[in-house]
Each structure stands twice: as structure tokens, then as C-alpha cells.
Amino acid sequence: MARDYGTADGSITLEISYAMLFYVLKRLKLPGEPERLPARSQHIVLANREEEASALRKADVAE
């Protein structure tokens, strides 16, 4: 998966506008708690859930 997302050390930082946050999370299948899904169905997880929750509140998107 690292090759698919262009990472060298297994992580990547995405800078996303508030307007696009919900759509990017949805496209990457990250809303909810994807870390609880089997690795076969969920290959990536967020490293900073608190920052995501804060950004969703600022974007006025209900989680």
C-alpha cells in the first residue's frame, strides 16, 4: 500500500480544505472507526483522530 499512496516511511500528510474534508474521508473510507475493520478491507487509518474531529466541527460536518 505504501507504493499506492506514494509513501516512503508508511505515512503521508494530506492538506485538505474544510470544504473537501468530508468527501476525502469518505473516498478513503475513513469516516467512523476504520481501524476496527479487518486489514483486508481497510488498508489505511488516521494517525490524528482528535485533529480530524476538530476539523469536522470547524467544517460544520456532523460525524
Distance of CA 14 to the CA centre of its chain: 9
For residue 42, being part of any structural domain is answered with yes
Distance of CA 23 to the CA centre of its chain: 10
What is the predicted pLDDT for the residue at 1? Answer: 61
What is the predicted pLDDT for the residue at 8? Answer: 73
Domains: count for the chain: 1
For residue 38, being part of any structural domain is answered with yes
For residue 63, being part of any structural domain is answered with no
**Claim: this prediction has a pTM higher than 0.95:** no
* Residue ranges making up the domain that contains 17: 2-58
For residue 35, being part of any structural domain is answered with yes
Band of pLDDT at residue 59, cut at 50, 70 and 90: confident
For residue 54, being part of any structural domain is answered with yes
The predicted-structure confidence for 9-36, as pLDDT tens digits, reads as follows: 878 888 889 889 889 888 887 777 767 7
